[in-house]
């Protein structure tokens, strides 16, 4: 799950946002910009939602302060569909603007899109790979599905890294053995055993199907993951 950092003093906005995103994300309510930035630093994947509510222009100031301090995704919820309000939000550094009232599924989709875009951007500037809802952090040796950590063994993680390095190529079994195990005189079926466990962990967490077998040759990342690689 990702983290929605909700910055607003309007109780109606707080309740509505929490109800809209609770199926996919954790909501952290904060009262000021400093608390919002602290919450973002503690989260692996976060989006800031600023609810204008009855506070009016102060929300734009908060947006400017957050944008000056970070590249966090910011979504502003405003009380008006007036084009001027949208333009003011974007000028303050917002990535998206939603006017009330809104369908819950629309807000959930907008937040999800911002998080996905941020994940792709992180992958371009850091040693991370985004494979659908699966994120592989090579440097930290961690993997996440939709922001939630996967608990992988060393071998499972190394298999995932090799496959993610080759999203559009079939990786021979011999190459996987050499990269993950080194010189291996044992049974080659060990690859399938560990890949099966890796697949199960990722699928159980709601991630893409990976490690498709190509008979007589090896394994490929798979269409679900390689489509976004």
* CATH number assigned to the domain comprising residue 143: 1.10.10.10
Sheet holding 128-131, edge to edge: 128-131, 134-137, 142-145, 148-149
Contact present, 108 and 23 (Cβ < 8 Å) = yes
Q: Alpha carbon of 189 to those of 108, 120, 194, 199, 205: distances in Å? A: 43, 34, 9, 15, 25
pLDDT digits (tens, 9 = 90+) for 19-32: 999 888 889 999 89
- Residue 99's SS3 state is strand
Its domain, for residue 81, covers 2-125
The CATH number given to whatever domain includes residue 83 is 3.40.50.2300
Does position 109 have pLDDT exceeding 60, yes or no?
Answer: yes
49 and 113 housed in the same domain: yes
Confidence band of 182 (pLDDT split at 50, 70, 90): confident
110 and 166 housed in the same domain: no
53 and 134 housed in the same domain: no
107 and 155 housed in the same domain: no
Confidence band of 11 (pLDDT split at 50, 70, 90): confident
Contact present, 2 and 144 (Cβ < 8 Å) = no
135 and 218 housed in the same domain: yes
Q: What is the pLDDT of residue 103?
A: 92
133 and 107 housed in the same domain: no
Predicted structure pTM score: 0.55
Does position 63 have pLDDT exceeding 50, yes or no?
Answer: yes
Contact present, 121 and 70 (Cβ < 8 Å) = no
Phi, psi of 131 (to 5 degrees): -125, 85
97 and 145 housed in the same domain: no
Q: What is the pLDDT of residue 83?
A: 84
How many other C-beta atoms lie within 10 A of the C-beta of residue 96? Answer: 20
Average pLDDT for the chain: 85
134 and 120 housed in the same domain: no
Peptide bond into 101 cis (omega under 30): yes
65 and 121 housed in the same domain: yes
146 and 170 housed in the same domain: yes
Spatial separation of the C-alpha atoms in residues 64 and 90, rounded to whole Å: 10
What are the CB-based long-range contacts (under 8 Å, 24+) for 122-131?
A: 129/164, 129/165, 129/229, 130/228, 130/229, 131/164, 131/167, 131/208, 131/210, 131/221, 131/225, 131/226, 131/228, 131/229
Q: What is the pLDDT of residue 125?
A: 47
Paired strand residues for 219:
171, 213
């Amino acid at each position: 799950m990702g983290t929605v950092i909700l910055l607003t003093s309007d109780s109606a906005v707080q309740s509505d946002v929490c109800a809209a995103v609770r199926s996919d994300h954790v909501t952290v309510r904060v009262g000021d910009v400093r608390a919002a930035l602290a919450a973002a630093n503690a989260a692996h994947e976060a989006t800031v939602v600023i609810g204008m509510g009855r506070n009016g222009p102060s929300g734009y100031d908060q947006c400017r302060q957050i944008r000056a301090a970070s590249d966090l995704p910011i979504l502003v919820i405003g009380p008006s569909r007036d084009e001027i309000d949208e333009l003011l939000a974007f000028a303050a550094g917002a990535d998206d603007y939603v006017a009330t009232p809104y369908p819950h599924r629309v807000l959930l989709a907008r937040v999800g899109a911002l998080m996905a875009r941020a994940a792709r951007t992180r992958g371009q500037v850091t040693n991370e790979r985004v494979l659908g809802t699966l994120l592989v952090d090579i440097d930290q040796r961690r993997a996440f599905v939709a922001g939630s950590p996967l608990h992988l063994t060393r071998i499972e993680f190394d298999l995932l890294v090799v496959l993610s390095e080759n999203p559009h190529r079939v990786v021979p079994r011999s190459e996987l053995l050499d990269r993950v195990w080194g010189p291996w005189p044992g049974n080659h079926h060990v690859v399938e055993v560990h890949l099966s466990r890796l697949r199960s962990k990722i699928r159980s967490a709601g991630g893409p199907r990976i490690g498709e077998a190509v008979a007589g040759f090896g394994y490929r990342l798979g269409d679900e993951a390689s489509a976004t690689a």
